[in-house]
Every structure is written in structure tokens, then in C-alpha cells.
Chains A and B, each alone.
Chain A
Amino acid sequence: MNPFTYARPGGAGEAVEAVTADPGACFLAGGTNLVDHLKLGVASPTALVDVRGAVDDTIEESPDGGVRIGAGVTNSDLAAHPVIRRSYPVLSSALLAGASGQLRNMATTGGNLLQRTRCVYFQDVTTPCNKREPGSGCSALEGHGRDNAVLGTSEQCVATHPSDMAVGLLVLDAVVVVLGPSGERRVPLADLHRLPGAEPERDTVLERGELITAVELPAPLAEGRGAYRKVRDRASYAFALVSVAALVHVRGDRITEARIALGGVAHAPWRARRTEAALEGRPLTEAGLRVAAEAELARARPGKDNAFKVPLAVNTCTAVLRDLTGVGS
């Protein structure tokens, strides 16, 4: 591990300045991803700027009926918060499906969004990886490919984004509040994570020195029902092969609003707009739910080891929609 300095600024502005001024600096939050990367040599900053004293760690209800979550709120406090449990249960469920009790006590909202891929080659510095070392090649294309993405991949990178929380937040239309060297901006979560394209080294649209200070949720969907379902190799404590977050509003025999997101299938948490469009306003039938799920996955381009993810995503999405709407039961 390279030597580094450690600082704990007391305010967000100071933290942004510290990282902007020093090209070797990076933010540290709960450390559950970054400290691992320091050990593995995946990250080698020369200065760590601890943000835990600089960003808010409280959850506030906002006047418009929504919620503002400080970037320093831990995953366990967020999942346990009465307002989140009552009004945004899909977020609680997504959080509780991730990692372990110990890790959720450490991991923060900001850090969870910006955790990096679990691609085994990204984490192994002895292998080529375009994300870690641009231009070196992608070992996952020919190598172990079971965990790879099936949607929105590029020739340069087929990694997935590992967060469960982000998939839950995506159906809640969350907005990420970012403080940078030139002030504050708001980025819809749907625009935060990039697809790999020709620049897989860039996970998100954030620029150097930009600090996530909060995540804002609009007022909950009235009478909407939500669910998060995660499919993995073990019953617990494993990353998603595929996950589905869904929020639907049903009136009579029709879905009036559907918001669906998929995890484990792409470089970003993936909003299934085609599934949503195929559901909204149509009569509810079990076949219709499946056709809608298939509409999103029709664009899937799996590799040699992960074709199973396509039917798995279709089946999981269909099952979640069936549970939420009561169709076919």
C-alpha cells in the first residue's frame, strides 16, 4: 500500500477544496470498498479526505412531502428509518438485501452509490482491465464471464454495477445532490452512472472533486406498491446475479403507473423503460407481464457465460410484477 495522508475536514466545501487541490487525493467514507482497494492496489491515493464529518448524516422530511438523505447516513440507519420503512419500503428492502449487518453499519449512502464494480479482473491488478488501466484490454471478455453485464455493454468493458440500494433508489426517481469546485448541482440518479462506452474508467458523470452531499426523494407514489427481489448464488451475503425493483400503481384491471429497475445486468442500475411502457394503461394479464419484461431484455447481448441472465431477469421481473398486481394468483 502506498503511503497517504489523512484529513478529516469539518465541512463539505473544505472537503471539495482538499480533493480538488490535490490530484492524488480521494474521498473516504465508510471505507468498505476503498480500504479494500487500497490493500489490493486497485486505488493508490496519496491523500485521503474523510467525508464523514463533512457531509450530513441525518434524514429530513422535506416540505414537498419527500425526503432528503444526508450522504453520510449509513445503510443500516437508512433501512431502519421509520419514514423510509413506511413510505419507501422498496428502498429498505433493497438495502437489507445487500452485504451484511456489519458492512451496512459502516457503508454510507454516498459511498454505496460510488462503489466500484466487483469484476474479478478489475480487482486483480495482475490482469488487463480497461476500467483500471485504460487501453490494457478487458480480461472479462474471454475469461470468467458469469457475472458480466448483458445490457448496455461495450467492447471495452462488460462490468456490472454492484449496488442494491441504487436499484431501489432508481424507481423512486431519486436525485443526487453534488457539491463541486464551482458550486452545487442536482443530478437525477438515472443520469449519475454511465455506460462504459469507450471510457470504462469513468463510472459516473461526476468530475474530480465533486462530493455527493445528499440524495433527495420526491414524495412517494400515492397508493403505489413496491418490491425488491434479488437472485444470487447464496441465500444471503452475495452480490446480485439479477435483481428487480418495481413500483406499480394499479387501478381496476390496469397498471396506471409502473417504475421498474434492474440490477446485476448493466454497468449502471438499469431503468426498464420499455417494460414500463408495455405495462402502462394495458389490461393486466400474466402473459402481458411476461411480454413486458421481455421487451426490455430483447436488447440484451450476453457473452459466452452469462446467457442465463436474460431469462433469469425476465422471470424475476415477471414474478415481481405478478406478486405486486395479484395477477395469476
Chain B
Amino acid sequence: MDSTITLTVDGERRELTVDTRTTLLDALRDRLGVYAPKKGCDHGQCGSCTVLMEDRRVLACLSLAVAHDGARVTTAAGLGDGDELHPVAGAFLDEDAFQCGYCTPGQICSAVGMLSEVASGWLSHVTEDPEGPVEATDAEIRERMSGNLCRCGAYPHIVAAIRRAAP
């Protein structure tokens, strides 16, 4: 069953007609040609499809496109400012935080969302002092990024890149 929806993707307003069964991930990749979010598992287990929805990190593979009519979606491709890389993306380059790169757009979106969660003072499972300041320590980064898997095992460099990009 078809439904016509509007999405603002990486700053651009796009209207499209989708079957109600279409996930946001398939709508982005197959319908809108936005290939930054990747399909790893398609079941919410790997994080490679992570995008920002209204600035919060979510999984595009478990989101139905029709359920997000009107949403503002930012993928890794839309994070930068013109030719300027987003600081998190730049830090991934500087720290060599990938090998094949398949998980990278999801890692970067997740890291951007995660750093704003830290800035908002959100606790994590490993926060030792709930009353104290919340900071992006290595232990915090590892815990908060646990929803993003990397089959190449670039984890130490991913942690270093996020630490470098953290304010």
C-alpha cells in the first residue's frame, strides 16, 4: 500500500511515494540515492545504518519510512559544512579510524549523536559518579558506542578519533 511522504534529508526536502513496508534505510538508499547509511544486518544489531533523526541517533533499518513523514534526517554525508568535513569525520581521517570503511558512516553519525548526549549530561551504564560531570572518557566512549560494530576491528582508532573530536 502506497503512501506519499516528505523527508528533509541532509538539508534537502524530498517528497516520495513509498510502500508502507519500506524502511527508512531502503527509502534513503534505494529511492533517494543517499548511500551514506549502510545495510549491515538489517535487524538493529550492527549500527551501520545509524542516522540522526531530529539530531538524535537512530537505526534507519528498524524505522518505517511512513512512520517518519515530515522528519529531518541527517546522514554522514550531510554532516559537513560545504567542503568542510564535520570535526568527527575529520578526526576519523586523522586517527585512521577505519579499514574497509563500511561501518564508518554509521560510526560517525553515532559518535555525533553520542557526543551531544554527553553534552546534555546523559549518564551511561559505566558512569561511575552520577552526580559528577559526564565526560567522554575512553570507557564512556566504548560503552556508548557499543551499538556500532566494526568487522575490521578498528575499535582502538575509533575510540581515539572520538576522544580527539570530543569538546
Contact = CB atoms under 8 A, between A and B. Distances in A.
B47 interface: yes
B1 A102 contact: no
Interface in A73-100: 76, 79-80, 85, 89, 92-93, 96-97, 99-100
Interface string B120-160: 11111100001000000000001111111000000000000
Centre residue among B50, B110, B146 by max chain A CB count within 10 A = B146
Contacts of A174: none
Contacts of B113: 101-102, 105
B159 to A, nearest CB: 13
A48 B21 CA distance: 10
A101 B67 contact: no
A237 B59 contact: no
A5 interface: yes
Contact of B59 (A50, A52, A96, A102): A102
A8 to B, nearest CB: 8
Interface in A16-57: 28, 31-32, 35-36, 38-40, 48, 50, 52
B64 interface: yes
A61 B123 CA distance: 21
A100 B64 contact: no
A103 B60 CA distance: 11
Q: How large is the interface on B (under 10, 10 to 19, 20 to 34, 35 or more residues)?
A: 35 or more
A40 B61 CA distance: 13
B62 interface: yes
A101 B44 contact: no
A3 interface: yes
B124 to A, nearest CB: 6
B82 to A, nearest CB: 27
B20 interface: yes
Given A105-B57, A237-B146, A36 B123 contact: no
Interface residues of A, number: 37
A99 B147 contact: yes
B164 interface: no
Given A36-B43, A236-B125, A236-B142, A106 B59 contact: yes
Nearest to B61: A35
A79 B59 contact: no
Nearest to A238: B146
A76 B122 contact: yes
B43 A3 contact: no
A85 B44 contact: no
Given A39-B43, A106-B62, A89 B122 contact: no
A65 B63 CA distance: 36
A6 B125 contact: no
B9 interface: no
B57 to A, nearest CB: 5
Interface string A229-248: 00000111100000000000
B56 interface: yes
B36 interface: no
A82 to B, nearest CB: 10
B50 A85 contact: no
Given A48-B20, A106-B58, A80 B63 contact: no
B114 interface: yes
Given A102-B50, A102-B110, A79 B144 contact: no
A280 to B, nearest CB: 28
Nearest to A29: B67
A101 B63 contact: no
Interface string B76-104: 00000000000000000000000000000
B3 interface: yes
B59 A3 contact: no
A308 interface: no
Contact of A31 (B67, B110, B121, B125): B67
Q: Sort A-B residue pairs by CB-CB distance and give the 6 closest, nearest first.
A: A100-B147, A236-B146, A237-B146, A6-B20, A96-B125, A6-B66
5 contacts: A6-B20, A28-B67, A38-B21, A79-B122, A97-B125
Given A3-B21, A31-B63, A101-B110, 8 more contacts: A4-B1, A28-B64, A32-B62, A35-B64, A101-B57, A102-B47, A106-B58, A235-B142
